[in-house]
Structure 1
Amino acid sequence: MKLVNVRYPVLGQLFTLLLVLGSSTAALATPYVPPSGLGAPGRRESAGTRGCAFGNPASLIALMPTENIGLTAEQYPQFYWYMPVSQAQFLEFTLSPMGADGEAISPIYTTRLAVPEAAGIVSLELPETANLPLLEAGDRYQWQVAAFCNPQSEDGDLQIQGWVEYQPPTAGLQSSLDLVSEADQASLYAQNGYWFDAVDHLATLNASAPKDDLLQTRWAELLLSVELDDMVDQPLLIRDAED
């Protein structure tokens, strides 16, 4: 097996890409492949509000593909977004089922979150202890994060939305997942449209091994494949995988 070490610049940093020639792992690249015909409305990047958020980028950004919807293999998935430096007093997360008209209806979960002290990528996992109904296979749900710089604001000063659909992996995909490492599982999820699982696997792995060049490369590859270039260099403000 021959290893070729290729260094290339990504947004001002050098990431190391190990190309494994003559190995089955060479096929496990991480670019996201969306399911055919899947798309949803919503804003994955908030519009700017003067005096509310700062920096570059100075907006809330949902870590979502360009279609603004992705599959999950988990009935309690994890959601990721970028939080800029801001004057927000608090964040509000809501999860709502899709109604018959294709719009979100009454939320099944709402929670208020503290604002992180620094800019970076944050996450929220639906808590199994909150007596939430499990996501139903084939149903779509809208998730939304709003940042309130003005506590009197009704809807929040910065707002993002995305959609998630729960689909259990096929028997064939599950068999493949059972045979590979967590990093390669992320690649398989990405190749099969399971956006939420690909992001969660790679974010968790990168948080626990921040100096792993190959994990950094896979993370960059995934984000660049859905035009989230500005997110590649952002810090992951999530708990360690061992917490």
Structure 2
Amino acid sequence: MKLAGVIPVILLCLVSYSPQVQPQVAQPVKNKNANTQNRLEKLNFPRSGAPVGRRQGGARRNGCPDLKQPVTALVPGEGTVNEAISFLSLTVSEYPTFWVYLPDLPTNLRSGEFVFQDERGKNIYKTPLKLPDRSGIIGITLPQNPQYALKQDNKYQWYFKVYCGNPENASDYYYVKAWVQKVALTPNLENQLKAAKPKEYPVYAVNQIWQDAVTNLADMRRTNSSSSTLAQDWTDLLKAVGLEEFATAPIVGRYGMER
């Protein structure tokens, strides 16, 4: 066995959890000797139920140079740049964090923008971002202000843009677009999360709550970058949604953590 002799802590968490989100829920693992990597890869996150999105960003206009790798939203779904597929994530947070992979960018491409909208396309939150000078993963968190708080069962869309040169030339940019829906934090789920702290991501993952699973695990990796267990779990979680190629990318930025 590839992981013989190593039983990740996440496995001990997963075997006891029952799903809270009903559609397409993966059942908890019953075999305590099951391979954790295989377990995470078999999790099915929702891939329908929202309007279309774009997980990997192409250029909006002709003023953008070619990139070796595309800007990529870390969201579940299938497909890449074609806006014909739903990319919907679930969250129980009023102020979730959204994660994006940035490839190597030319030195003049350091201006970004995050836009959060309701289902009809009305802006709720919009902020410019100064992008890091190296490739990697960034997280953008909605500020904890009641006017930005997600409402239960509502769907929201979010955009992340990288402007090609001068951000005032708003027609030239790369972008990704995805969707998020807030679901109920039930008493049962809340108890499971309390029992699992600080390692909450297995609970979120088995309940298909992608947005909070990836955020909790990313934050743990930022504070404990030497943990081989967290690194493996990060790889497994991204592989579950077909994004394993970004598993070794560092987390290079975190925005919007104002209180």
Q: Tell me, yes or no, whether TM beats 0.5.
A: yes
Alignment of structure 1 residues 45-60 onto 2, 5 Å = 45-47=56-58, 52=65, 54-55=67-68, 57=69, 59-60=70-71
Q: Which of 231, 234, 246 does residue 216 from structure 1 map onto?
A: 231
Q: 2:243 aligns with which of 213, 224, 228?
A: 228
CA contact (8 A) 1:52 1:86 kept: no
Letter in 2 for 1:6: L
Match of residue 136 from structure 1 = 151
Kept in 1, the 8 Å contact 2:67–2:104? The answer is yes
Secondary structure at 2:53 match in 1: coil
Q: What amino acid is aligned across from residue 119 of structure 2 in structure 1?
A: M
* SS of residue matched to 1:19: coil
- 2:115 — aligned with what? 94
Q: Which residue does 2:175 correspond to in 1?
A: 159
| Match of residue 52 from structure 2 | 41
* Percent identity between the two aligned chains: 24
- Cα pair 2:196 2:203 within 8 Å, conserved: no
TM-superposed CA distance for 1:121, in Å, is 0.1
CA distance in structure 1 between the partners assigned to 2:196 and 2:110 by the alignment = 43
Root mean square deviation, CA, Å: 2.7
Is residue 20 of structure 2 the alignment partner of residue 19 of structure 1? no
CA distance in 1: counterparts of 2:237 and 2:160, whole angstroms: 22
- SS of the equivalent of 1:116 reads coil
Q: How far is 1:219 from its partner? A: 0.5
User: How far off its partner does 1:36 sit?
Assistant: 7.8
Q: What's the secondary structure of 2:148's corresponding residue?
A: coil
- SS of match in other structure, 1:108: strand
**Structure 1 counterpart of 2:113, one-letter code:** E
Match of 2:103 among 72, 79, 84: 84
Shift, 1:95, TM fit: 0.3
Aligned AA (2:7): L
Q: How many residues align?
A: 218
Cα deviation, residue 76, structure 1: 0.6
Deviation at residue 52 of structure 1 after TM alignment: 3.2
TM-score normalized by the length of structure 2: 0.75
Q: Show the counterpart of 1:10.
A: none
Find 1:180's aligned residue among 179, 184, 196. 196
2:76 maps to 1:61: no
Q: Report deviation, 1:180.
A: 1.4
CA contact (8 A) 2:101 2:138 kept: yes
Matches within 5 A, 1:94-113: 94-99=115-120, 105-113=121-129
| Distance change in 2, residues 1:110/1:156 (3 Å) | farther
Which residue does 1:14 correspond to in 2? none
Which protein has the bigger strand share?
1
2:213 match: 198
The separation in 2 between residues aligned to 1:156 and 1:146, in whole angstroms, is 10
Task: Tell me which amino acid in the other structure corresponds to 2:57.
Answer: S
Which TM-score applies when normalising by structure 1?
0.80
